[in-house]
């Protein structure tokens, strides 16, 4: 995807592309440095956003296909009685067999190849001896590196038949991602995404985790910008074609607060309530978005 800066249109009443949260006309409209022709440079230098060209997008899409196939393979093997470490072995071996590298392994000291987060674990669960039980919900978050490109995707699965609470939180998390994705189009802002997610999740009596956010992705595991899953409409930077980032809302059945366990990774709900998450890697296109890790929501 080639960004065409000259064709970026920002209306006088649109949110200012500088991310101030004010209207363009009240902010940078008259300032030369945010004239549309210069926006790409600003986004690159000020916000460190790495725009993706069409060969990059092809690379991320191909990596995304492998990531999705990995989740399918995991799903086929999920059943009560298996340990989270068995899921790690499945993901690790499958990734290597397909010519890729698991990005989580040794990332900032993370000791395993996939994050596996059960029930009250919000994210960054370290695979280990925990045994999956009937009715558990389990998030599996995979990020292969294929030919230098990263794609980041996760789903929350249910083991056997779910209880009422499990069914609810998984559905609300799934629809939260869908609500966030529906806001992605050029001219909308990063804040619009979080606003839509928060509005939906809270309308269902659930809460949105704030300490972890979506992120730019593709050349690296975590790039600019950050993508909060809460916020106000019109806040944050404006979306442009060629941006690639994840949306990955973590939704709690109880309060939004979390604590981090002694292993320095595992994030759990402070009140012990269930938490679920869905994540896709999203490309902003001229007309809207394309998921580079598409699955039905
Ligand atoms: N995949 C997670 C994300 O969606 C990041 C995991 S970092 C790890 O951003 F080190 F725990 F793998
Ligand atoms: Co992510
Ligand atoms: Co992820």
Between the CA of 143 and the centroid of ligand 1 the distance, in Å, is 8
- The pLDDT, as a whole number, for residue 36 is 57
Which residue's CA is minimally distant from atom 4 of ligand 1?
152
Helix axis angle, 164-181 relative to 190-203, nearest 10°?
150
Residues in contact with ligand 1 (CB, 6 Å cut-off): 104, 107-108, 110, 115, 124, 141, 143, 152, 246, 248, 279
- The pLDDT, as a whole number, for residue 37 is 57
Q: Which of 115, 173, 215 to mutate to test the pocket of ligand 1 (most atoms within 8 A of CB)?
A: 115
Ligand nearest to the CA of 104: 1
Residue 46 has pLDDT above 90, yes or no: no
- The pLDDT, as a whole number, for residue 33 is 59
**What does the pLDDT look like over 113-142, one tens digit per residue?**
999 999 999 999 999 999 999 999 999 999
The answer to whether residues 229 and 198 touch, using CB atoms and an 8 Å cutoff, is yes
Percent of the chain with pLDDT over 70: 95
- The pLDDT, as a whole number, for residue 5 is 41
**Distance from C-alpha of 235 to C-alpha of 20, rounded to nearest angstrom:** 7
**Residue 49 pLDDT grade (very low, low, confident, very high; cuts 50, 70, 90):** very high
**What does the pLDDT look like over 237-289, one tens digit per residue?**
999 999 999 999 999 999 999 999 999 999 999 999 999 999 999 999 999 99
**Distance from C-alpha of 164 to C-alpha of 43, rounded to nearest angstrom:** 45
| Ligand 1 atom, smallest distance to 221 CA | 9
- The pLDDT, as a whole number, for residue 205 is 98
**Distance from C-alpha of 179 to C-alpha of 194, rounded to nearest angstrom:** 9
Which residue's CA is minimally distant from atom 7 of ligand 1?
104
| Ligand 1 atom, smallest distance to 141 CA | 1
User: What is the pLDDT of the chain when averaged over all its residues?
Assistant: 94
**Residue 1 pLDDT grade (very low, low, confident, very high; cuts 50, 70, 90):** very low
**What does the pLDDT look like over 55-97, one tens digit per residue?**
999 999 999 999 999 999 999 999 999 999 999 999 999 999 9
- The pLDDT, as a whole number, for residue 3 is 36
| Ligand 1 atom, smallest distance to 104 CA | 12
Which of 32-41, 145-154, 176-185, 233-242 is least confident?
Answer: 32-41
Which runs of E-coded beta strand occur in the chain? Answer: 101-102, 115-118, 121-123, 137-142, 144-146, 149-150, 153-158, 207-208, 214-216, 223-227, 244-247, 250-252, 258-260, 267-269, 275-277, 280-284, 289-291
- The pLDDT, as a whole number, for residue 2 is 36
- The pLDDT, as a whole number, for residue 8 is 54
- The pLDDT, as a whole number, for residue 45 is 86
Between the CA of 134 and the centroid of ligand 3 the distance, in Å, is 25
Residue 13 has pLDDT above 90, yes or no: no
> Which residue is listed with tokens 């490309």?
283
């Amino acid at each position: 995807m080639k960004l065409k800066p000259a064709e970026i249109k920002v209306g006088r009443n649109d949110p200012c592309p500088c991310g101030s949260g004010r209207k363009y006309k009240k902010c940078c409209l008259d300032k030369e440095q945010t004239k549309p022709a210069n926006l790409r440079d600003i986004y690159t230098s000020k916000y460190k956003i790495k725009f993706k060209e069409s060969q990059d997008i092809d690379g991320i899409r191909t990596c995304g296909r492998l990531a999705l196939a990995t989740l399918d393979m995991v799903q086929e093997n999920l059943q009560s009685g298996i340990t989270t470490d068995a899921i790690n072995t499945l993901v690790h071996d499958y990734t290597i067999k397909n010519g890729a590298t698991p990005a989580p392994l040794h990332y900032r000291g993370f000791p395993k190849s996939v994050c596996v987060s059960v029930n009250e674990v919000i994210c960054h669960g370290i695979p280990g001896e925990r045994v999956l039980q009937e009715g558990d919900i389990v998030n599996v978050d995979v990020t292969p590196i294929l030919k230098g490109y990263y794609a980041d995707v996760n789903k929350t699965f249910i083991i056997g038949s779910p209880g009422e609470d499990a069914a609810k939180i998984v559905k609300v998390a799934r629809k939260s991602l869908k609500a966030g994705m529906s806001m992605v189009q050029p001219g909308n802002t990063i804040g619009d995404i979080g606003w839509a997610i928060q509005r939906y999740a809270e309308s269902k009596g659930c809460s949105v985790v704030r300490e972890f956010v979506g992120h730019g992705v593709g050349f690296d595991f975590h790039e600019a910008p950050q993508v909060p899953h809460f916020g106000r409409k019109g806040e944050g930077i404006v979306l442009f074609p060629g941006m690639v980032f994840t949306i990955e809302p973590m939704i709690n059945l109880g309060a939004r607060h979390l604590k981090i366990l002694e292993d320095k990774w595992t994030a759990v709900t402070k009140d012990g309530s269930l938490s679920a998450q869905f994540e896709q890697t999203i490309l902003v296109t001229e007309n809207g978005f394309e998921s580079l890790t598409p699955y039905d929501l």
